[in-house]
Structure 1
Amino acid sequence: MESIYDEIEIEDFTFDPVLQIFQYPCPCGDRFAIALDDLKDGEDIAVCPSCSLMVKVIFEPEDLEEYT
């Protein structure tokens, strides 16, 4: 079972329209990241590439419409 560090609303993430990813600051100094396509596919876990922390993204499918 994966250990979730926190649950973060999608509105608190920043969206990079070039890379099509959502990012949120991680306590380690890097950023949690999850791709728009992953969210569309039902994934809701953003991971930090520098440490083992993960956060759950809280969103509704209609929240993604403004990013496509």
Structure 2
Amino acid sequence: MPRQAIYDEIELEDMSYDASKDLFHYPCPCGDRFEITRQQLRDAEDIARCPSCSLLIRVVFDPLDFEEDDDADQTAAQQVTSEGIATAVASAA
């Protein structure tokens, strides 16, 4: 598959954030908007796609800004696991 060209490079702070969808977006020349999720950024992905056309942009950001998200996700996962174990132990007793 041929590599697609990047239309532009956009700083993350120039993008808008939609908390309900947990994604950043930026206007596309076609009238739609480029989108990239927080999870993609946490995974060090830097390409935002427009769902309506073939354009791509590179999002310029500091991956260190998303390390706290990873820590919070790990803490939440550990808490859920701990609560599940505590519930299983309590119901077995």
Q: What TM-score results when the alignment is normalised by the length of structure 1?
A: 0.90
Q: How does 1:19-58 map to 2 (within 5 A)?
A: 19-58=21-60
Runs (4+) off by over 2 Å: 62-66
- Between the aligned residues of both structures, percent identity stands at 57
Is 1:18 the counterpart of 2:34? The answer is: no
Residue number among 11, 25, 41 corresponding to 1:9 in the alignment: 11
Larger RCO (CA under 8 A, 6+ residues apart)? 1
The SS at the match of 1:38 is helix
Give the letter for the 1:39 counterpart.
Answer: L
Unaligned runs of 5+ in 1: none
Unaligned runs of 5+ in 2: 70-93
More strand by share: 1
Root-mean-square deviation (Å)? 1.5
Instruction: Report the Cα offset of residue 7 of structure 1.
Output: 0.2
**Within 2, Cα distance between the matches of 1:29 and 1:63?**
29
Give the letter for the 1:6 counterpart.
Answer: D
